[in-house]
Chains A and B, each alone.
Chain A
Amino acid sequence: MNLTWRQYNELSSLKLEFFDSSIDFQCEELAIALDVDSEDVKNLNSTEFAEKRTVLLKYLQSQPKAEESISINGMTLYKRPFNLLTLGEWIDLDYYIQHKDWLAIIVLIYRDKVDGELKADEWEEWGNYVEKRKALLIDTPFDHTRTSLHEILKWRTNFIESNGELFNRGVEEGDEPVEEDISVSEKHAQLLEERNNKFAWESLIMDLCQDDITKFNEVVSLPLLLVFNMLAMKKTLNK
């Protein structure tokens, strides 16, 4: 069994509530994985079905080795070391995770190599580069790149843990709810947190730009590690 990203995306978008019965749901899952019509799957007997489904389950639980390079349409893309991410890419990563856009993360990881060096792809003047690259990757084998997805997410978790203080976003001092009016205060704190979360990255970038929007692109192109080292230093010095 070897899924493509298209099949994986279809599988992960299936919801039990879309179906009349759980068996129909399971038949559709297997039909997507086998790339056949769900009516063909319904013709299987329960033993055959269970065998094929077990293969699918094992496949999804396996962890193939991440490919260091992949080829699409004659173009070779190379896996980037994650510590080369820029601040802007880190923010994109956060956005893709929020939207469960796993393939966009693969686009972020696998890049062109020009003159022996990995280069971040240039944004095209017209059109969305990420969407175009995703369209190229969608029919590639899921196995070749899925482990890289797990690796970058694990790396990201470690990164957040090791920079724990910089990611702590509690309610600011003075915003604590007053006991006698807890519901209004809670709501206020919640709204404040939602607003802060929504614009947290923009707010950070504008801080780094010292509110000079013309420096925006420069800041988002800075290496992530550099930015976080600086932020950590500033936080320590300000204590």
Chain B
Amino acid sequence: MIQIVWQSEERNVKSKLSELTIFEFEFIAEQFNKPGPNLPKWMAVAEYFTGFPEEEILEWPQSLFQKLVDNMFAAGDLGEPLPFIEFNGERLTASITLTMRAISKIEKIFAAAEPDSVSRSLAVVFGSELDEEQEALLVAHIKTMPTVGLIPHFKYTVKDYFDYLTQSNPIKVDEPNVETV
């Protein structure tokens, strides 16, 4: 946490990645995935995390805004990937190795570039057996969970997917390359 003091109001602001929820993580990612200059993105992040309205943030001295920018998203210990999560009183175990069905689903989630790609992908990791309705509830639940233990799945479990995509050679069907006369 960092402390932001503005007009006698003190706000403790989350700064490390490990302090964020998945929703907050996705909120930040959504801002910075947008095209265009960074200042409006930082304004949106500052507004959301400090609770001060934009008009007031615009009045801040540059040093205060810089303090926020310099300290936010500091790396924290995100721990090891959680082997399971609790959902609706049940224990949902993470798939250690994803099936191709799950990988295909994650690929489509990322290709769609929706703001909730992270929570939806994590729902695939933990809820591969769930129906659509339950999966949507799981996504909502995951958004409220801390990043600790969840984001590491992108380094381990979901990494299978990234490794697979980057390492696999396209099948070159042995089509003879000939010119016609």
Interface positions of A (Cβ within 8 A of B): 8, 11-12, 14, 20-24, 26-27, 29, 39, 41-47, 49-50, 53, 56-57, 60-61, 94, 97-98, 100, 102, 146, 149-150, 153, 156-157, 160, 167
A27 vs B103: C-alpha distance when bound (angstroms): 11
A160 vs B181: C-alpha distance when bound (angstroms): 8
How distant is B117 from chain A, measured CB to nearest CB, in Å? 14
How distant is A109 from chain B, measured CB to nearest CB, in Å? 13
> Known contacts A8-B173, A22-B165, A160-B181: does B97 contact A27 (CB below 8 Å)?
no
In the complex, per-residue mask of B151-176: 1 if CB is within 8 Å of any chain A CB, else 0 = 00000000011001100110111111
In the complex, per-residue mask of B74-117: 1 if CB is within 8 Å of any chain A CB, else 0 = 00000000000000000000000111110110011001000000
Q: Is B178 an interface residue (CB 8 A)?
A: yes
**Contact with B168, one of A12, A45, A53, A149 (Cβ below 8 angstroms):** A53
How distant is A128 from chain B, measured CB to nearest CB, in Å? 22
A45 vs B102: C-alpha distance when bound (angstroms): 9
Q: Are A46 and B169 in contact (CB under 8 A)?
A: no
Contact partners of B103 in chain A: CB under 8 A: 23, 46
**Contact with B100, one of A45, A97, A102, A156 (Cβ below 8 angstroms):** A45
Q: Are A23 and B104 in contact (CB under 8 A)?
A: yes
A49 vs B102: C-alpha distance when bound (angstroms): 13
Q: Are B181 and A94 in contact (CB under 8 A)?
A: yes
Q: Which residue of B lies closest to A98 (CB)?
A: B180
**Contact with B178, one of A20, A43, A146, A156 (Cβ below 8 angstroms):** A156
Query: Interface size for chain B: under 10, 10 to 19, 20 to 34, or 35 or more residues?
Result: 20 to 34
**Contact with A57, one of B101, B169, B175, B176 (Cβ below 8 angstroms):** B169
Contact partners of B180 in chain A: CB under 8 A: 94, 97-98
Q: Are B99 and A43 in contact (CB under 8 A)?
A: yes
- 10 chain-A/chain-B pairs, Cβ below 8 angstroms: A8-B174, A11-B171, A12-B175, A21-B107, A22-B165, A23-B104, A46-B100, A57-B171, A97-B176, A153-B176
A214 vs B38: C-alpha distance when bound (angstroms): 79
A98 vs B180: C-alpha distance when bound (angstroms): 6
Q: Are A29 and B171 in contact (CB under 8 A)?
A: yes
Q: Are B178 and A97 in contact (CB under 8 A)?
A: yes
Q: Which residue of B lies closest to A105 (CB)?
A: B176
A11 vs B170: C-alpha distance when bound (angstroms): 12
> Known contacts A21-B107, A46-B161: does B100 contact A27 (CB below 8 Å)?
yes
Q: Which residue of A lies closest to B181 (CB)?
A: A94
Q: Which residue of B lies closest to A11 (CB)?
A: B173
Q: Are A46 and B104 in contact (CB under 8 A)?
A: no
- Among B97, B100, B178, which residue has the most Cβ atoms of chain A within 10 A? B100
**Contact with A150, one of B161, B173, B176 (Cβ below 8 angstroms):** B176
Contact partners of B161 in chain A: CB under 8 A: 46
Q: Are A146 and B98 in contact (CB under 8 A)?
A: no
Q: Are B171 and A53 in contact (CB under 8 A)?
A: yes
How distant is B87 from chain A, measured CB to nearest CB, in Å? 23
Contact partners of B168 in chain A: CB under 8 A: 26, 50, 53
